[in-house]
Amino acid sequence: MGKIGVWLVGARGSVATTAIAGAAAMRAGLAARTGCVTELPDFAGADLPGLEDLVFGGHDVVDTPLLKRAEQLAAAGVLPSTLPGAVAGELDAAEARLRPAPAGGGRAAIDRIVADLTAFRAGLDHVVVVNVSSTEPPCAPHPAHESLAALEDALDTLPPSALYAYAAFRAGCGFVDFTPSTGARLPALDELARTAGLPYAGRDGKTGETLLRSVLAPMFAQRGLNVLSWSGTNLLGGGDGATLADPGAASSKNASKQQVLSQNLGREVDGDVHIDYVPALGDWKTAWDHVLFEGFLGTRMTLQLTWQGCDSALAAPLVLDLARLTGKACRDGVAGPVAEFGFFFKDPAGDGPHDLASQYAALREWAHR
């Protein structure tokens, strides 16, 4: 397969740091490959890049070194206490490839990103840009977003995530949006990806509450049970929680969460998702769901569930999976959205199934294609 560069937008954040440290630990045999979908027997022989083939770089607006961030995560219980010291060499090597995120937007920011990606790509076979930065508010519609020709004169209308998607395609890189931000989900950027012959995937990694919804909603539909309402409350701390305390950013997240229900149930149902920032939770999150449904003869029943997890530990292995899979897509000349990667996302790009079992089958078939 050759070497695959993984350029992380938000490279010093909790998810990115956990992914880099985790990849180093697994390569060194210091950790089991638990949570990595591409390490399952179903993907053996799929000719994917190996973990040892991944080379990490990226942008961030903060300058705390990766080793220090890993030590902070270890102190919080996210990483094993001895891991940062054991993989310090690989963390330092990745640190040397990180660059400050460009300030501002428009053509100047894009040119800077393209230059950094081009320099990073030297000696690598392909590069995949993965957005794991903070969630943005929804992008305001603009006529220039509808076609590539129009967009070229209005690049300053793009939010940061879409700037990175544009720059990635201009630099010959695949793109993955692990956030609910705009990313490549504009007609003009889809046109650019197809024209450049490059793959993209997203958006919003499916790691906790929505993962359960993508399993349970099909169960209700397939058993003929009528869901009347589905409400949820999320408590989370850390940087993600602080970002989602902003109503604009929270609206992007909630929209992607609700997609799973409407797609699997075939209609909208009553109920909202509430997100509460609880700083004391740190990198942990708790989700509580309440489902009211009707059974035979209209008998009303209720399902309640609680999910508690470590956000970074849930997301990081999926980032590694997507880097490997998108690296294969780059090698194979796939252009445009890879619908089969919908298994990983709340609001997947492209046309594909929305229940987890069908998504898994589609992903497995694609990997062996």
- Over residues 358-369, the pLDDT tens digits come to 999 999 999 998
Closest C-alpha to 289, from 225, 235, 358: 235
d(CA 292, CA 186): 36
CA angle 240, 277, 23 (to 5 degrees): 30
Structure confidence at residue 252 as a pLDDT band (50, 70, 90) = low
Are 174 and 149 in the same domain?
yes
Are 74 and 18 in the same domain?
yes
* Domain boundary pick from 311, 331, 350: 311
Closest C-alpha to 194, from 183, 184, 207: 184
Choose the most confident range, by mean pLDDT, from 16-20, 103-107, 208-212, 242-246: 16-20
Are 55 and 89 in the same domain?
yes
Are 200 and 179 in the same domain?
yes
- Over residues 272-300, the pLDDT tens digits come to 888 889 999 988 999 999 999 999 999 99
Are 183 and 225 in the same domain?
no
- Residue given tokens 């180093």 in the structure block: 24
Per the structure, the count of domains in the chain is 2
Residue with the larger pLDDT of the pair 250 and 321? 321
* Domain boundary pick from 264, 282, 311: 311
Are 26 and 114 in the same domain?
yes
**Dihedrals phi, psi of 266, to nearest 5 degrees:** 85, 5
Mean pLDDT of 127-143: 93
CA angle 13, 18, 24 (to 5 degrees): 130
Are 97 and 200 in the same domain?
yes
Q: What is the CATH number of the domain that holds 81?
A: 3.40.50.720
- Over residues 74-88, the pLDDT tens digits come to 999 999 999 999 999
DSSP for 165-217 reads HHHHHHTT-EEEE-SSS-TT-SHHHHHHHHHHT-EEEESSB--SHHHHHHHHH
Mean pLDDT of 25-54: 96
Are 22 and 95 in the same domain?
yes
pLDDT at 246: 72
Residue with the larger pLDDT of the pair 124 and 276? 124
Helix boundaries (H) for the chain: 14-27, 66-75, 83-86, 88-95, 106-121, 148-151, 160-170, 187-196, 209-222, 238-244, 247-265, 311-331, 356-368
d(CA 333, CA 183): 21
pLDDT at 167: 98
- Residue given tokens 């206490």 in the structure block: 81
pTM: 0.93
Residue with the larger pLDDT of the pair 354 and 240? 354
Structure confidence at residue 254 as a pLDDT band (50, 70, 90) = low
Closest C-alpha to 300, from 229, 212, 233, 231: 229
Decide: helix, strand or coil at residue 45.
coil
Mean pLDDT of 307-317: 94
Q: What is the CATH number of the domain that holds 286?
A: 3.30.360.10
Are 143 and 104 in the same domain?
yes
Given a cut of 90, whether residue 259 has pLDDT beyond it is no
d(CA 308, CA 206): 14
Residue 119's domain comprises 4-205+313-368
Structure confidence at residue 40 as a pLDDT band (50, 70, 90) = very high
* Domain boundary pick from 284, 311, 338: 311
d(CA 165, CA 176): 8
Mean pLDDT of 340-351: 94
**Dihedrals phi, psi of 267, to nearest 5 degrees:** -165, 165
Are 223 and 150 in the same domain?
no
Are 247 and 347 in the same domain?
no
Average pLDDT of the chain, as a whole number? 94
Are 228 and 279 in the same domain?
yes
